[in-house]
Amino acid sequence: MKSRIRTVMALGVAALALTVGGATAGLDAAAADGVIKACRHKSGILLVPSAGKACKRSEQALSWNVEGPAGPAGADGKDGAPGPAGPQGEAGARGETGPAGPTGPAGPAGPVGPAGPSGSIAAIEALDGIACTTSANTQGEVSVETEIDGAIVLTCEAENAPPPPPGGTLVLNEIDYDQVGADTGGFVEIHNTGESAADLSGVALVLVDGGTGTEYLRRTLTGTLAAGAYLAVEVDPQNGAPDGVALLGSGGALLDALSYEGAIEAATIGSATYDLVEGTLLPPATADSNTVDGSLSRIPNGADTNDAADDWTFTATVTRGAANMG
Ligand SMILES: [Ca+2]
Ligand SMILES: [Ca+2]
Ligand SMILES: [Ca+2]
């Protein structure tokens, strides 16, 4: 009985210790699972039974939790302060060079240079043969020519170019090589289509035999032929088809040519060879006649496009020494 009283006393001490937040070994054991178990004596005293012991029948078993139920969740906390800045990154690779900028404006003109030494020429002909640049932007030489009226013509001629015509523009304009009845009165008409007189010195009219490809008659001309004038050279320009006529300038330049009643494309004249077919061959059927009067003529008069089929035709009106009609 004394021991039980001591236990009850001990519980009073333990309850007191629990009130102040402490813990004893007995309470620790009774609350090992978080639940305090006790026995209430009918006198009102609470007894904490030893481990494994149950309350008596006259006692009321009691139990309660050491801790209350969990409280409500707290309010959300505030956002924290931003963290510190990270370390500086490494510099990037250098970009490619950009395109060149636009051309700047032209600078101001420089000062005028000193005057050059004074020059002089004894005669205008001294310019003949000096270097020049042609309109085709090629190297050439200056040519000095004095016209009949005293005009001086300076031209820049490309190197290795054929010699120029002797002033004016000479063409073969009409050929009468066949006549009704006996062949008489044949001629080759030469026309100056240029705007200045033509120097005929060194100009030759050459007849070519198509059978052999060689010349068989030559007329060397002299004097001048005024602009727009005609010159009928009396010849019989027929030697068996095909036939050809060549007008050569000084130095052998081929000024004009016609191959008729067939093609003569390789005429040997002197040491040179000439093609007497200009452009399209004049059809062999386009020929002079021995049954009707007429001749081969440039139509329109004097027109020379260097295409025989276009430039020449047979006309029934012979115009010896005058403009062609047709
Ligand atoms: Ca005729
Ligand atoms: Ca021609
Ligand atoms: Ca004529």
Q: pLDDT digits over 108-139, tens only?
A: 887 877 776 667 788 888 899 899 998 878 88
Q: Give the pLDDT confidence score for residue 69 in this predicted structure.
A: 59
H-run or E-run covering 304 = none
What is the whole-number distance in angstroms between the Cα of residue 208 and the centre of ligand 2?
A: 16
Query: pTM for this structure?
Result: 0.52
Q: Which residues contact 39 (CB under 8 A, 6 or more apart)?
A: 46, 47, 48, 49, 55, 56, 59, 60, 61, 62
pLDDT category at 206 given cuts 50, 70, 90 is very high
Instruction: Read off the DSSP letter of residue 129.
Output: T
CA of 312 to the centre of ligand 3 (A): 12
- Comparing 33-37, 181-185, 247-251, 296-300, the range with the smallest average pLDDT is 33-37
* Among the listed residues 306, 302, 307, 309, the one whose alpha carbon sits nearest the alpha carbon of residue 326: 302
Task: For residue 49, report the distance from its CA to the centre of ligand 2, in Å.
Answer: 150
Distance 255 CA to ligand 2 centre (A): 7
Rounded to the nearest angstrom, the distance between the alpha carbon of 247 and the centre of ligand 3 is: 16
**For residue 262, is pLDDT > 50?**
yes
Q: Write out pLDDT tens, residues 38-87.
A: 778 787 777 777 777 888 888 888 776 766 556 565 455 455 455 555 55
Q: CA 5 to CA 143: how far, in whole Å?
A: 159
Q: What is the pLDDT of residue 16?
A: 35
Q: What is the 259 CA–ligand 2 centroid distance (Å)?
A: 11
> What average pLDDT does the chain have?
81
Q: How confident is the model at residue 263 (pLDDT cuts 50, 70, 90)?
A: very high
Ligand 2 centre from 260 Cα, in Å? 14
Cβ(280)–Cβ(260) below 8 Å: no
Give me the pLDDT at residue 95, please.
Answer: 53
Q: Which pLDDT score, from 0 to 100, does residue 92 have?
A: 47
The residue ranking higher by pLDDT, 6 or 271, is: 271
Buried b (16+ CB within 10 A) or exposed e, 5-24: eebeeebeebeeebeeeeee
What pLDDT, on the 0 to 100 scale, is given for residue 254?
97
Instruction: State what percent of residues in the chain have pLDDT above 70.
Output: 76
Rg (alpha carbons) of the chain, rounded to whole number: 67
Q: How confident is the model at residue 88 (pLDDT cuts 50, 70, 90)?
A: low
Quote the ligand 2 centre to 224 CA distance (angstroms): 20
Question: Which of 32-36, 189-193, 249-253 shows the lowest per-residue confidence on average (mean pLDDT)?
Answer: 32-36
Does residue 22 surpass a pLDDT of 80?
no
**320 C-alpha to center of ligand 3: Å?**
5
For each of the domains in the chain, give its residue range(s) and CATH number, in order of start. Answer: 2-65 (no CATH), 124-158 (no CATH), 170-315 (2.60.40)
pLDDT given for residue 107 in this prediction: 79
Q: What is the mean pLDDT of residues 19-32?
A: 44
Non-local CB neighbours of 325 within 8 Å, separated by 6+ positions: 301, 315, 317, 319
Q: What is the mean pLDDT of residues 22-40?
A: 58
Q: Which residues contact 41 (CB under 8 A, 6 or more apart)?
A: 8, 47, 58, 59
Closest ligand (CA of 300): 3
Please report which confidence band the pLDDT of residue 11 belongs to, taking 50, 70 and 90 as the band edges: very low
